[in-house]
Structure formats: C-alpha cells, structure tokens
Structure 1
Amino acid sequence: MFDKESGVPGRLTGKRAAITGGAAGIGLAIAQRFAGEGASIAVCDPDRARLAALQQERPDWLYVAADVSIESQVAEFFEACRARFGALDCLVNNAGISGPTAGIESIALADWEAVYACNVRGAYLCTRAAVGLLKSAGGSIIMMSSLAGRVGVPFRTPYASAKWALIGLTKSLAVELGEHKIRVNAILPGLTRGPRLERVIEARAASSGRTFEEQVAVEVSAGALGELVEPEDIASAALYLASDEGRRVTGVSLPVDAGLESATFR
C-alpha cells in the first residue's frame, strides 16, 4: 500500500480505475484496495444512498449513480471519468445481480432478461464506453464472472449462463484489444461472503428443507479448503490483474473459490 510517510508508491500509483457496482460488497473491496495502492477511483452504482454514505468516507473518489444496463447512464459515468481523469487505466466490470433461484419452467422471461441486462449487457456497454479511455496507454479490463461460469448450476440458469457469457466476452476481447495493449481477464469468485450469497443460500435452504446454517455447512464442505471466500480475496486477485505485475496476463479466467471447482469430483 502507499506509505505517505516514506513516500513509497503503491502498485497502482498514478493509475485511474473505474469500478461498476462499487458501493458495496466485492466492488467496494476492490475500490478500497485499489485506492490503498495509490489509484484514483471512480465508482458507479444504482444505490444512491450507499453512494452518498460512501462519499462521506471517501470524498476524493468520483461517484455517479448509474444502472449499467441503461446506455445513457453508462455514457454519463464514463464522460464523468473522462472529465475527471482524462483517461483510464483499469475498468472493473463488477456490477451484477443474482437473479432467481428456480427451475427453468418457473423462471419468468422478465426475470431472465433482467439478469442478462445487468450482467452481460452492462459489461458490454461499459467496456464499449471505456475502451476509448484505455487506448492511450493500454490497461486492464476485469470481468467479474463466477465459478458458476465454469460449471453447471441447476436452478440458477439465468445467472450461470450469463457468467459463462462473460468468459466468452473476456477471451474474445483479449484477442481483439491486445494490439492496444489492453489486457482483458475474468475473475471467477466462488462462495463469497456477503448479502448476495446469503440470499442465494437462503433460497437453497428453503428448497432443500435445511436451516440456513446447515446449508452454509453443506456449501462450504464441497470446497477443497472448506471455507468461504472473502471480498478481500477477490480484491487481491483484481489488484494483480490491474497492476504491472499482471502485464503479460490476458484472456485468463482466474478462479478464487477456495478450491470449490477442483473438489467437484472428490
């Protein structure tokens, strides 16, 4: 981290990062970690109350209330980034929603489309808007996919298929944007502590007849390390991909899942 007394620079000193869905959870953990490493931070989030509260703590960050599925609001966010920073060095496409937990016959079209609008269309709109700001000096785009983007997840088809789509987008853009020295990678979080996971586990517990605590134990026991992932673990992976330490890494889908994928067949 940046040490003001010693003047030792952090790994992102002088970098400018835009983080979607950055007012809470994984997005906020990434913003805080990047800021601690010297980056200038721009955050968008549709939750105006959270943005206002966060602005009291970090008045030096740029905040824009934006829903990434709405083209005009995305344009507003990146125009604000251009006005404040002139260019960007990193985009973290973190915004996403979990969607319904239900069998395919019970999922309403509106619910399916809402997941794709935020998780896939949002990543497309933000990437499209950010590329022009990244081209001047190259940089890093990080897609927040999921372990659900690598394995089959019954009763979570809108979410899982959208996260699979982000991996395809990552690999395609890594080739397309490589000539501009823009690296594109995905992070695949496993069971990550936070309100979103709690909602998913509550739904699974209800369908299985288990208590919430019993369902947590079942979920965690499936992984090689037998523990939940923390938002700070995802932030550490994002820091590597955004920093010069990851300057030769592109087109990669990096699981941070406490060994959940590796333990699938044990």
Structure 2
Amino acid sequence: MGKRVLITGGGSGIGKAMAETFAADGARVLVTDMDQVALDGCPGSWLKMTGDASDPEHMRAVFARISDEWGGIDVVCSNAGIAGPTALVEDVDIEDFRRCIAVNLEGAFLAAKYAAPMMKAQKSGVILITSSNAGINGFPNRSPYASAKWAEIGLMKTLAMELGPYGIRANAIAPGCVEGPRIDGVIEREAGAKGTTPELIRAGYEAGVSMRSFVTAQDVANMAVFLASEGARLVSGQVIPVDGHTENPDPKV
C-alpha cells in the first residue's frame, strides 16, 4: 500500500494540490478543512473530516480515525492557515492577531503533537509544515501572519531535533506568492491600505522575485511529495523556499 498521508487545510489551494499529487503517487490521503463545501468537492476516495486544525478535540479525533483506519501515519502536511489582517501593526486588533497565530501555529503544533507518538512507535515518518517566505523575510502590513510563519519554522527545527533519533524528519516549505483567490484577496486588501491599485501591488510583488513570477499550488505540492520521498531521506530541519527567489519582500514600483 502507498503512504498514509494527512493534509490539514486540504480542501482547496495548496492543500488540495498536495492531496491530489500524493494520491497520484499512490498514497492514501485524509484531508481536513473547515469548509464543508470544499471537502464535498474532493474525490470520494479520500478520507475527509470537517473541523478547525487549531481545535485540540478535532485534531484528537483526526488522529483517532487515522489509528482506526490505517494503524499509523507516514506523512503529515500541516498546511491549514489563514492570511490574517492586512494593516500596520498599530492598527491590528489583538483578537485578529491571536486568531492568525492560533490557526497557523497552534494548528501545526497540534498536528505534530498527535503525530509524534504514532511515528515514534513505527520509527519513521515525515512532518511537513507549510510556512511562507514571510517566515524568512518578514512581511510589512502582515505582522500576525509573519509572526506565525516565523514561529512555525522554530517549531519545525525543534521537531527535527526531538524526533530525528526516531527516524522522523521535519521540514518547512516556504512558498512565495501562490496564484489563486487567497493571494488575490491579500493584494486587494494591501492596495486598499496603501491607496493604490491591485495591479500595481501585483506588479510590485513580481518585481521583487528573481524569476518575475508567482508560483502555483502544484509547485508547492511537488516539493512536498519530494520531501516525503526516499530521495530526501536525509533532508530534515530545513526551510525550503518555493518562490522563484524573493529578492525584496516589500518591493516598490
């Protein structure tokens, strides 16, 4: 049988692309998402659960099902996340900050917390966290998101240290701007905050990338499948950007 793979936030975007790519590689997949409509649009062959990745009870139930259905887990893709508010730090509401941290960081923590005992018992496994190039460079007007994504990298490096002796690897993928509705919304909100147009914001983002291009969800999914493969058997504790090389995280046009 193929790998047993969990993808949180797997109903759309990067998460769904990951699930599709792992499934095409022969894996069994379980996807979680808060969006029931998105899950309803996923293939019937996938296991699906609706819930919040930052809710301990939900994640406990997810891993109980994994234990019952599969008896173990090979790959956990902690991908669930939200963009958080777009505003100067002094204008960010503390509750919005906390929610962004909870979904992104606490969700990754809970996935690792419940995966670790299973993976230790089998002395193998891969944990992949979807961070961001905002977790490497920072991101003006996005302090909650950048804070969460930097923290995810600290979590990942600690997991690599704690779990490495058990044959378990942990890495973070740091996408740049990923084509799709989510980045479109970010661009629109930033344009509003700066009093300019979405077209100029998009052009500025592209100008700050060496390859002058956004990436796709498939680009990120391809990296996830590679990092979970035997070809990456000694790749652990690493942050792998998939961003076309970000030169300037806050380009001006």
Instruction: Indicate the TM-score class for this superposition, using the shorter chain for normalisation.
Output: over 0.9
Question: Closer, same or farther in 2 for the Cα pair 1:61/1:137, shift >3 Å?
Answer: farther
TM score, norm. by length of structure 1: 0.91
Identity %: 41
Give the drift of 1:264: 8.2
1:16 maps to 4
Partner of residue 7, structure 1: none
Question: Cα distance, 1:69 vs. partner?
Answer: 1.0
- For 2:247 and 2:32, how far apart are their aligned partners in 1? 31
In structure 2, which of residues 79, 89, 107 is the aligned counterpart of residue 122 of structure 1? 107
CA RMSD of aligned residues (A): 1.5
What is the letter of the counterpart of residue 206 of structure 2?
V
Q: Which residue of 2 aligns with 1:166?
A: 152
C-alpha distance in structure 2 between counterparts of 1:84 and 1:253, whole Å: 31
Task: Please name the residue that 2:173 is paired with.
Answer: 187
Partner of 1:205 in structure 2?
191
> Which residue matches 1:6?
none
Q: CA deviation at 1:262?
A: 7.5
**Equivalents in 2 of 1:263, 1:198: separation in Å?**
17
CA distance in 2, matches of 1:176, 1:61: 31
The correspondence for 1:93, drawn from 74, 78, 93, is 78
Q: Which residue of the partner structure matches residue 219 of structure 1? A: 205
What CA distance in whole angstroms lies between the structure 1 residues aligned with 2:180 and 2:47? 24
- Give the C-alpha shift of residue 145 in structure 1: 0.5
Asked whether the equivalents of residues 89 and 137 of structure 1 are also in contact (C-alpha less than 8 Å), the reply is no
- Corresponding residue for residue 29 of structure 1: 17
| TM-score (ref. length: structure 2) | 0.95
**Residue in 1 that maps onto 2:96:** 111
Residue 195 of structure 1, CA deviation: 1.4
**Which residue of 29, 49, 54 maps to 2:37?**
49
- Distance (whole Å) between structure 1 residues aligned to residue 219 and residue 250 of structure 2: 21
- The residue aligned with 2:26 is 38
Contact 2:209/2:247, CA 8 A, preserved across alignment: yes
Match of 1:257 in 2: 243
TM-superposed deviation, 1:207:
2.3
Letter in 2 for 1:47: D
Paired with 2:82 and 2:249, the residues of 1 have a C-alpha distance of 26
Moved over 6 A (4+): 262-265
Task: Work out which of the residue numbers 132, 139, 150 in structure 2 matches 1:146.
Answer: 132
Q: Does 1:230 align with 2:216?
A: yes
Give the gaps of 5 or more residues in structure 1: 1-12
